[in-house]
Amino acid sequence: MASRIRETAIACVKEGGAILLDYHHKLENLQVHTKGRSDYVTEADFAVQEALIRLIRSRHPDHDILAEEGAERPRQNTTRWILDPLDGTTNFIHGFPAFAVSLALEHQGSVELGAIYDPSRDELFLAEKGMGASLNGKPFTVSGRTRTEEALVATAFPWRRKAILLRYLEVFTRVFGQIHDLRRSGSAALDLAYVACGRCDGFWEVGLKPWDIAAGHLLVTEAGGTISDFSGGAEHIWVGDVVAGTPAVHQFLLGVIREVFGGNVSTRAL
Protein backbone atom coordinates (compact mmCIF):
# COMPACT_ATOMS: atom_id res chain seq x y z
CA MET A 1 0.00 0.00 0.00
CA ALA A 2 1.44 3.36 -1.03
CA SER A 3 2.54 5.58 1.83
CA ARG A 4 0.34 8.40 0.49
CA ILE A 5 -2.77 6.23 0.94
CA ARG A 6 -1.71 5.37 4.49
CA GLU A 7 -1.05 9.03 5.26
CA THR A 8 -4.47 9.98 3.92
CA ALA A 9 -6.21 7.39 6.09
CA ILE A 10 -4.41 8.50 9.23
CA ALA A 11 -4.95 12.19 8.50
CA CYS A 12 -8.66 11.55 7.92
CA VAL A 13 -9.41 9.63 11.09
CA LYS A 14 -7.32 11.99 13.22
CA GLU A 15 -9.09 15.05 11.76
CA GLY A 16 -12.44 13.36 12.22
CA GLY A 17 -11.62 12.51 15.80
CA ALA A 18 -10.68 16.11 16.56
CA ILE A 19 -14.01 17.31 15.18
CA LEU A 20 -15.90 14.73 17.26
CA LEU A 21 -14.14 15.77 20.46
CA ASP A 22 -14.97 19.41 19.80
CA TYR A 23 -18.66 18.56 19.49
CA HIS A 24 -18.47 16.18 22.44
CA HIS A 25 -17.36 19.04 24.69
CA LYS A 26 -20.58 20.95 23.93
CA LEU A 27 -23.22 18.23 23.78
CA GLU A 28 -25.88 20.48 25.27
CA ASN A 29 -26.03 22.32 21.92
CA LEU A 30 -25.73 19.26 19.67
CA GLN A 31 -28.35 19.02 16.91
CA VAL A 32 -29.75 15.49 16.62
CA HIS A 33 -32.02 14.17 13.87
CA THR A 34 -33.95 10.90 13.62
CA LYS A 35 -33.28 8.62 10.63
CA GLY A 36 -35.55 5.85 11.87
CA ARG A 37 -36.69 4.11 15.02
CA SER A 38 -33.76 4.21 17.49
CA ASP A 39 -31.54 5.45 14.64
CA TYR A 40 -30.05 8.92 14.94
CA VAL A 41 -27.65 11.22 13.15
CA THR A 42 -26.05 14.36 14.54
CA GLU A 43 -24.47 17.48 13.11
CA ALA A 44 -21.16 15.96 14.24
CA ASP A 45 -21.69 13.03 11.84
CA PHE A 46 -22.20 15.42 8.95
CA ALA A 47 -19.31 17.70 9.92
CA VAL A 48 -16.85 14.81 10.06
CA GLN A 49 -18.10 13.26 6.85
CA GLU A 50 -17.90 16.52 4.92
CA ALA A 51 -14.39 17.25 6.18
CA LEU A 52 -13.11 13.78 5.35
CA ILE A 53 -14.69 13.69 1.91
CA ARG A 54 -13.04 17.02 1.12
CA LEU A 55 -9.68 15.69 2.28
CA ILE A 56 -9.95 12.45 0.32
CA ARG A 57 -11.06 14.17 -2.86
CA SER A 58 -8.31 16.77 -2.58
CA ARG A 59 -5.70 13.99 -2.51
CA HIS A 60 -7.35 11.23 -4.53
CA PRO A 61 -9.92 12.79 -6.86
CA ASP A 62 -10.28 9.59 -8.89
CA HIS A 63 -11.34 7.46 -5.92
CA ASP A 64 -14.96 6.64 -5.11
CA ILE A 65 -16.40 7.14 -1.63
CA LEU A 66 -19.07 5.10 0.17
CA ALA A 67 -20.11 6.98 3.31
CA GLU A 68 -22.84 6.43 5.86
CA GLU A 69 -24.73 9.69 5.57
CA GLY A 70 -25.80 9.51 1.94
CA ALA A 71 -22.67 10.63 0.12
CA GLU A 72 -22.34 7.63 -2.18
CA ARG A 73 -21.75 8.33 -5.86
CA PRO A 74 -22.31 5.77 -8.63
CA ARG A 75 -19.31 3.50 -8.59
CA GLN A 76 -16.93 4.25 -11.44
CA ASN A 77 -13.50 3.18 -10.20
CA THR A 78 -11.87 0.09 -8.73
CA THR A 79 -10.71 2.00 -5.64
CA ARG A 80 -13.21 3.13 -3.01
CA TRP A 81 -13.07 4.57 0.50
CA ILE A 82 -15.67 3.24 2.96
CA LEU A 83 -16.35 5.80 5.70
CA ASP A 84 -18.22 5.87 8.98
CA PRO A 85 -17.79 9.39 10.38
CA LEU A 86 -19.18 8.46 13.80
CA ASP A 87 -19.60 4.86 14.87
CA GLY A 88 -21.40 4.82 18.21
CA THR A 89 -23.78 7.74 17.64
CA THR A 90 -26.11 6.83 20.51
CA ASN A 91 -23.13 6.69 22.88
CA PHE A 92 -21.97 10.06 21.55
CA ILE A 93 -25.37 11.70 22.08
CA HIS A 94 -25.46 10.54 25.70
CA GLY A 95 -21.86 11.47 26.47
CA PHE A 96 -20.81 7.83 26.77
CA PRO A 97 -17.15 7.79 25.67
CA ALA A 98 -17.18 4.82 23.29
CA PHE A 99 -17.26 6.10 19.71
CA ALA A 100 -14.89 6.18 16.78
CA VAL A 101 -14.16 7.23 13.22
CA SER A 102 -13.82 4.24 10.89
CA LEU A 103 -12.27 4.33 7.41
CA ALA A 104 -11.35 1.56 4.98
CA LEU A 105 -9.93 1.47 1.48
CA GLU A 106 -11.29 -1.13 -0.94
CA HIS A 107 -9.45 -1.94 -4.16
CA GLN A 108 -10.88 -4.29 -6.75
CA GLY A 109 -13.31 -5.69 -4.19
CA SER A 110 -10.71 -6.34 -1.48
CA VAL A 111 -10.23 -4.25 1.65
CA GLU A 112 -6.60 -3.14 1.55
CA LEU A 113 -6.42 -0.71 4.48
CA GLY A 114 -8.43 -0.11 7.62
CA ALA A 115 -8.16 2.64 10.23
CA ILE A 116 -10.27 3.10 13.36
CA TYR A 117 -9.60 6.05 15.65
CA ASP A 118 -10.96 6.42 19.17
CA PRO A 119 -10.47 10.12 19.98
CA SER A 120 -11.48 9.75 23.63
CA ARG A 121 -8.47 7.51 24.27
CA ASP A 122 -6.28 8.78 21.42
CA GLU A 123 -6.04 5.23 20.06
CA LEU A 124 -5.39 4.61 16.38
CA PHE A 125 -5.95 1.05 15.15
CA LEU A 126 -4.40 0.54 11.72
CA ALA A 127 -4.13 -2.45 9.39
CA GLU A 128 -2.74 -2.89 5.89
CA LYS A 129 -3.30 -6.04 3.89
CA GLY A 130 -0.32 -8.34 4.26
CA MET A 131 1.39 -5.95 6.70
CA GLY A 132 -0.26 -6.76 10.02
CA ALA A 133 -2.13 -4.53 12.46
CA SER A 134 -1.03 -1.97 15.04
CA LEU A 135 -2.27 0.25 17.86
CA ASN A 136 -0.57 3.66 17.93
CA GLY A 137 2.25 2.10 15.90
CA LYS A 138 2.74 -0.97 18.11
CA PRO A 139 1.97 -4.30 16.35
CA PHE A 140 -0.62 -6.59 17.89
CA THR A 141 -2.36 -9.92 17.36
CA VAL A 142 -5.56 -11.46 18.64
CA SER A 143 -5.42 -13.04 22.07
CA GLY A 144 -4.01 -16.51 22.52
CA ARG A 145 -7.05 -17.78 24.40
CA THR A 146 -8.40 -21.08 23.17
CA ARG A 147 -10.58 -22.09 26.14
CA THR A 148 -14.15 -20.94 25.61
CA GLU A 149 -14.81 -20.63 29.33
CA GLU A 150 -12.07 -18.00 29.59
CA ALA A 151 -13.31 -15.86 26.71
CA LEU A 152 -14.56 -12.29 26.96
CA VAL A 153 -17.02 -11.75 24.11
CA ALA A 154 -18.62 -8.55 22.78
CA THR A 155 -22.02 -8.23 21.16
CA ALA A 156 -24.79 -5.74 20.49
CA PHE A 157 -28.54 -5.93 20.73
CA PRO A 158 -30.34 -6.09 17.35
CA TRP A 159 -31.78 -2.59 17.49
CA ARG A 160 -32.23 -2.50 13.71
CA ARG A 161 -33.75 -6.00 13.63
CA LYS A 162 -35.95 -6.21 16.73
CA ALA A 163 -38.12 -8.86 15.04
CA ILE A 164 -35.33 -11.39 15.59
CA LEU A 165 -34.86 -10.52 19.25
CA LEU A 166 -35.99 -13.93 20.54
CA ARG A 167 -33.46 -15.78 18.37
CA TYR A 168 -30.77 -13.30 19.32
CA LEU A 169 -31.53 -13.82 23.02
CA GLU A 170 -31.27 -17.58 22.52
CA VAL A 171 -27.75 -17.10 21.10
CA PHE A 172 -26.97 -14.71 23.95
CA THR A 173 -28.12 -17.20 26.57
CA ARG A 174 -26.22 -20.14 25.09
CA VAL A 175 -23.02 -18.13 24.64
CA PHE A 176 -23.20 -16.46 28.05
CA GLY A 177 -23.56 -19.81 29.77
CA GLN A 178 -20.27 -21.08 28.32
CA ILE A 179 -17.89 -18.10 28.43
CA HIS A 180 -16.28 -15.88 31.04
CA ASP A 181 -18.39 -12.76 30.36
CA LEU A 182 -20.06 -10.54 27.76
CA ARG A 183 -19.64 -6.85 26.89
CA ARG A 184 -21.75 -4.41 24.88
CA SER A 185 -19.92 -1.19 23.95
CA GLY A 186 -22.32 0.30 21.40
CA SER A 187 -19.65 0.62 18.70
CA ALA A 188 -19.12 -2.27 16.29
CA ALA A 189 -15.93 -0.67 14.97
CA LEU A 190 -14.39 -0.61 18.43
CA ASP A 191 -15.66 -4.11 19.20
CA LEU A 192 -13.84 -5.45 16.14
CA ALA A 193 -10.73 -3.43 16.98
CA TYR A 194 -10.78 -4.86 20.51
CA VAL A 195 -11.06 -8.41 19.17
CA ALA A 196 -8.11 -7.70 16.89
CA CYS A 197 -5.86 -6.38 19.66
CA GLY A 198 -6.84 -9.04 22.21
CA ARG A 199 -9.01 -7.02 24.58
CA CYS A 200 -11.94 -9.26 23.62
CA ASP A 201 -11.81 -12.78 22.29
CA GLY A 202 -14.93 -12.76 20.14
CA PHE A 203 -17.78 -10.66 18.77
CA TRP A 204 -21.07 -11.12 16.95
CA GLU A 205 -23.75 -8.75 15.71
CA VAL A 206 -26.55 -8.59 13.16
CA GLY A 207 -27.81 -5.89 10.83
CA LEU A 208 -24.60 -3.92 10.35
CA LYS A 209 -23.60 -1.83 7.33
CA PRO A 210 -20.38 -1.99 5.26
CA TRP A 211 -18.97 1.13 6.94
CA ASP A 212 -19.46 -0.51 10.35
CA ILE A 213 -17.43 -3.57 9.39
CA ALA A 214 -14.90 -2.90 6.63
CA ALA A 215 -12.01 -1.43 8.64
CA GLY A 216 -12.54 -3.82 11.56
CA HIS A 217 -12.64 -6.76 9.16
CA LEU A 218 -9.08 -6.06 8.05
CA LEU A 219 -7.86 -5.43 11.61
CA VAL A 220 -9.15 -8.84 12.70
CA THR A 221 -7.75 -10.75 9.74
CA GLU A 222 -4.36 -9.02 9.84
CA ALA A 223 -4.13 -9.72 13.57
CA GLY A 224 -4.59 -13.45 13.02
CA GLY A 225 -8.27 -13.67 13.85
CA THR A 226 -11.20 -15.12 11.94
CA ILE A 227 -14.25 -13.21 10.71
CA SER A 228 -17.23 -14.38 8.68
CA ASP A 229 -20.94 -14.07 8.09
CA PHE A 230 -23.38 -16.34 9.92
CA SER A 231 -22.98 -19.12 7.35
CA GLY A 232 -19.20 -19.09 7.78
CA GLY A 233 -18.74 -17.36 4.43
CA ALA A 234 -17.01 -14.14 3.47
CA GLU A 235 -20.01 -11.90 2.75
CA HIS A 236 -20.20 -10.28 6.20
CA ILE A 237 -19.23 -6.78 5.04
CA TRP A 238 -22.18 -6.69 2.62
CA VAL A 239 -24.65 -9.00 4.40
CA GLY A 240 -24.20 -7.24 7.74
CA ASP A 241 -24.26 -10.30 10.01
CA VAL A 242 -20.80 -10.78 11.46
CA VAL A 243 -19.02 -13.14 13.82
CA ALA A 244 -15.35 -12.64 14.68
CA GLY A 245 -12.77 -13.83 17.14
CA THR A 246 -9.73 -15.90 17.76
CA PRO A 247 -9.97 -19.01 15.58
CA ALA A 248 -11.21 -21.09 18.51
CA VAL A 249 -13.75 -18.57 19.80
CA HIS A 250 -14.99 -17.80 16.30
CA GLN A 251 -15.63 -21.50 15.74
CA PHE A 252 -17.55 -21.72 19.02
CA LEU A 253 -19.67 -18.63 18.31
CA LEU A 254 -20.38 -19.71 14.75
CA GLY A 255 -21.51 -23.12 15.96
CA VAL A 256 -24.04 -21.59 18.36
CA ILE A 257 -25.27 -19.10 15.75
CA ARG A 258 -25.74 -21.84 13.14
CA GLU A 259 -27.75 -23.93 15.59
CA VAL A 260 -30.10 -21.02 16.29
CA PHE A 261 -30.31 -19.25 12.92
CA GLY A 262 -29.62 -22.15 10.58
CA GLY A 263 -26.55 -23.15 8.65
CA ASN A 264 -26.81 -20.87 5.65
CA VAL A 265 -28.98 -17.86 6.37
CA SER A 266 -28.84 -14.09 6.53
CA THR A 267 -30.99 -12.44 9.17
CA ARG A 268 -32.25 -10.15 6.40
CA ALA A 269 -34.45 -13.06 5.30
CA LEU A 270 -36.05 -13.40 8.74
Task: Tell me the CATH number at 46.
Answer: 3.30.540.10
CATH code: domain of residue 218: 3.40.190.80
Pick from 183, 231, 182, 239: nearest CA to 214: 239
pLDDT at residue 12 in the model = 98
Same domain, yes or no: 135 and 188: no
Domain span including residue 169: 148-269
Residue 152, strand partner residues: 181
Same domain, yes or no: 165 and 253: yes
Same domain, yes or no: 168 and 223: yes
Confidence of residue 262 (pLDDT cuts 50, 70, 90): confident
Domains identified in the chain, total number: 2
Same domain, yes or no: 8 and 127: yes
To the question of pTM greater than 0.85 for the whole model, the response is: yes
**How far from the centroid of its chain's Cα atoms is residue 43's Cα?**
21
d(CA 123, CA 14): 10
Same domain, yes or no: 129 and 258: no
d(CA 155, CA 212): 14
pLDDT at residue 56 in the model = 97
Same domain, yes or no: 117 and 181: no
Q: How far is CA 160 from CA 116, 183, 241, in A?
A: 23, 19, 12
**Range scoring the smallest mean pLDDT among 88-102, 159-173, 243-257:** 159-173
More confident residue, 36 or 27: 27
Query: Where among 106, 140, 174 does a domain terminate?
Result: 140
Confidence of residue 78 (pLDDT cuts 50, 70, 90): confident
> Chain-wide mean pLDDT for the chain?
90
Query: Where among 140, 160, 177 does a domain terminate?
Result: 140
Same domain, yes or no: 85 and 180: no
Same domain, yes or no: 17 and 135: yes
Same domain, yes or no: 239 and 168: yes
More confident residue, 33 or 149: 149
Same domain, yes or no: 123 and 154: no
Same domain, yes or no: 81 and 156: no
Same domain, yes or no: 21 and 91: yes
Tell me: the pLDDT tens digits for 158-203? 766 667 788 899 999 999 999 999 999 999 999 999 999 999 999 9
Provide, for the chain, the percentages of residues in helix, strand and coil under a 3-state DSSP scheme, each rounded to the nearest 5: 40, 25, 35
